[in-house]
Each structure stands twice: as C-alpha cells, then as structure tokens.
Structure 1
C-alpha cells in the first residue's frame, strides 16, 4: 500500500462521504473513488459499503482505518524526528519535552536544572499542553520525551521510568464545609450539588456530556474553583501552586498517581538518554 492510498482511505472512512473526503483532500471525487477501488482490489477485500443512503465501513474497513491511522501517524512522527535531528547540527534545540501545563512543576524545574548542569547537555524545549495531550504529542513525533501520569495516561508501547507516586486531593473553594474534614471519598465529591467536576475536551476536541463547566487549562479551572463554580480531584503536589482562596482535602479512595518519564522505544538519541538519566537521579 502507498501512503497516499492510506490518506485517501482514512479521509473517506472518517467522513463516510466521498464528496466531503475529496474536498478535505483537495482533489476531485472521481480519482478518489478510483483510488479506493484500486486499494480494495489490491487487498482483495471490500472496505466500504456504498448504498444510495451513504457509505459505511465493513469489518475489514474498520481494521484498515485503525491500522491506517497508526501507520500515517508513524510516518509523520518519523518525518518530524528526522527533521529535528537534522536541526541539531545547526545548534537549534535538540530535544522537545512535553508535559501537562500546571502538573509536576517542581519536578520539571528540578529535572531541567539537573540536566542543564551536565556536561554537554543539549538545549531542551518545553512544550506545555492540555490534559492527555502530552501522550499524543510523544507518539506522533512532536516531542522526544514526555512526563506522563498513570493511570490517566497510557505508556503502552513506550519505554518509561517511574519518578514519583502520590495520592490525590479534592480542591475546593476556601471555606467550603468539606474543608473541615480530615478526608473524603470520591462518592462524596461526585455528589456535591454545588461544585460539579470539570469537563475536559477529549482527543477529538469535544467535551463529554455532564453538568460541570468546560475547561481547557488549570488556570481557568482554579479560577472557577475559587469562584465556587467547580471542584477538582488532582494530585496532592498541586498544593504548592494553590492560592489562599483554595483548600484541599485528601481523597481516600482516589487512585494514586504515578509520574513517569516516557520516550519512544526505538529511540537511540543520546540526548534522550541523558535527560532520562538526569530524571532518574532526582
């Protein structure tokens, strides 16, 4: 299969409409239809069911959509990492580290200082992102290393080393009745009628249904909590960055959060190895 054919198929499979897919790809519809037909003949499988009512994926098509996305992501990642490696010789930043904005700030600062103190350390560009985005940035090649947080981020298929593990707390507006408690349970937090949990966007940018406010970053979240519009369950290290108008209570049955440093398993970068070594020495 050619990369072009995979791009064409993924566009049709996601749009489930040849006309929309053709506009998305910037080509005419007839050559798109011919390319999909040629791909089906080459694979000996029907990928799309075409009827007067629309287009649907077959079982084989669903498999190729999943595998095709992964293959295209791998090609894009290879291109980005190759370009970044080529820039190293010109003295531009040789390493991109991504992490969730507002998370692991103290750990990140210690890591960057420890790495910079090492002889021959390369420049590190820090790419801050929203919740859950750092895993995608690492997998698609826009970052070389990431700070991930299990169980919320997956490290499947990545190399990783654990750096720290901590419990979680509920962040409340100062003066809320629960702040007088030594601890709470998740069921009590989710049942708060006046302080709903926030809704973060998914990988597709869409927000899940629910009563909580839509948030995109921790600054927005903390402001909503201070105004008495929301609460949030966060790793206990967040306490170091809260203001006087916030309060925290430990959540007994919340899953413990493990911060890990992760990188692609096929990486042979000396710079990545040096950064990981610095992280392990903290």
Structure 2
C-alpha cells in the first residue's frame, strides 16, 4: 500500500464526498475514483459504499481510516524528525522544548540557564502549548524534548527523567468562604466551593459536557477564578503566578504532580542529551 493511496482514501473517508476530496487533494475526481477502486481490489475489501446521493464507510473502511491516519501521522513525524536531525548534524538548528503554557515556569527558567552555561549549548526554542499537547508535539517530531506532568500526561513510548514532585492546591477567589481554610479534601472541593470545575479540551479539541466554563490555558483559568466563575486544583508551583485576588488552599490528599523531561528513545542528538543532563543536575 502506497502513502499516496492512503492519503487519497483518508481524504475521501473524511469528506464522504469524492468531489470535495478531489478538490482538497488538488486532483481531478476520475483518477481519485480509480485509485480507490484499485485499492479496494488489491485489499479484497469494499471500503466505501457508494450511491448516487451519498458515500459511506464500511466496517473495513472504518478500520483503514483509523490505521491510515496513524500511518500518515507516523510518516510525517519521521519526515520532520529526519530533517531536524540532518539540520542538527550540520549545526543549522537548535533544540525545541515543548512545555505547557503557565506550567513549570521557575523550573524552566533554571533549566534554560543551566543549559546555556554549557560550552556545547545550542539555541533552545521554547514551544508553549495547551494542556496535554506536549507529548503530541514530541511524538510527531515538532519538538525534541518536552516537560510532562504525571499523572496527567502519558509517558508511553518516551524516555524520561523525573525533575521535581509537588502537592496540589485549591485556587479560589479572594474573599471566598474557603479562602481562610488551612486545607481542603479533594472529594469535597466542588461541593464546598459551590462553584463548577473548569472544562479542559479533549484530545480532539472538543469539550466534555458540564456546567463549568470552557478553559484553554492557565491565564484564562486564573482570570475566570478571580471573577468567581470557577475554582481549580493546581500544582503547588502555581502560587508564583497568583495575583492578590486569588488564594491557594492546600489539598493534601490530591495526587502529587511530578514534572519530567521526556525525549524520543531513538534520539541521538547531542543537544538533547546535553539538555537532559542539565535538567537532571538541577
């Protein structure tokens, strides 16, 4: 199966319309239809049910759509990582570090300073992203290393080193009845606070159902908390970013958060190795 065939099929399967798929691919519709027919004959399976009014995926087509997307993502990631490795070998590029915006600010600053002091240091581009996106950026080759956080982020398939572990706190608007409490229980946060918890985006970009406000990043979250629209349980390090209209109450029974530096296990980049070494020496 060729990459070109997979791209053709994924386009048709996502559009469920040969004309729109052809336009998206920048080709004419007849050769696209012929390519899909050849693919079906070679696989011995009907991938698409066609009628004069609609196109629908068969069970086999649904499987190929899922597997085809994964395969195309892997090919694109391999292309990006190979190009980055080639540029790094000739000294034409630095290293890209992905981190969640608003998280690990103090640790990140110390890491960048420690690495910059090394004689073999190269430029570090910091790629700020939304919650849960660091691992994707690392796996698809857009980043060389990433700061991830357990138990929230997946470490599957990555090499990691633990950097720091901390507890969590309940962030409330100043003046809230709980703002003077010495601690709070995680199971009682929503009930005692009387405010809904925020809703973070799912991997596909949609939001789960619920009464809380939709939140994209920590800056937006803190503003919503100060306005009395929500509360949140966050890592202890968030205290450094809290303004006078916000209060943090310890939540001793909340899971501890561990920050790790992660990289692809097959990486042979000296810059990545140097950055990881600098991080573990902090």
Same-fold status (TM-score > 0.5): yes
Pair 1:122–1:57, CA change in 2 (3 A): same
- What aligned pairs does 1:213-228 form with structure 2 within 5 A after superposition? 213-228=213-228
Counterpart of 1:110? 110
CA deviation map 1:231-251 (0-9, x unaligned): 111111111221111111222
- What aligned pairs does 1:84-123 form with structure 2 within 5 A after superposition? 84-88=84-88, 92-123=92-123
CA distance in 1, matches of 2:73, 2:205: 18
Paired residues of 1:84 and 1:94 also in contact (CA < 8 A): no
CA deviation map 1:195-224 (0-9, x unaligned): 222222233332222222222221111111
Deviation, structure 1 residue 145: 0.6
CA distance in 1, matches of 2:23, 2:189: 47
Secondary structure of residue in 1 paired with 2:189: helix
CA distance in 1, matches of 2:260, 2:19: 44
The two structures, once aligned, show a CA RMSD in angstroms of 2.2
CA deviation map 1:137-172 (0-9, x unaligned): 111111111111122211111122222222221111
**Structure 2 unaligned blocks of 5 or more:** none
Paired residues of 1:93 and 1:124 also in contact (CA < 8 A): no
Count of aligned pairs between the two proteins: 282
Paired residues of 1:98 and 1:143 also in contact (CA < 8 A): yes
Counterpart of 1:166? 166
- What aligned pairs does 1:196-275 form with structure 2 within 5 A after superposition? 196-275=196-275
Q: Which TM-score applies when normalising by structure 2?
A: 0.91
Pair 1:94–1:176, CA change in 2 (3 A): same
**Structure 1 unaligned blocks of 5 or more:** none
Stretches (4+) displaced over 4 A? 89-92
Q: Which TM-score applies when normalising by structure 1?
A: 0.91
Pair 1:162–1:46, CA change in 2 (3 A): farther
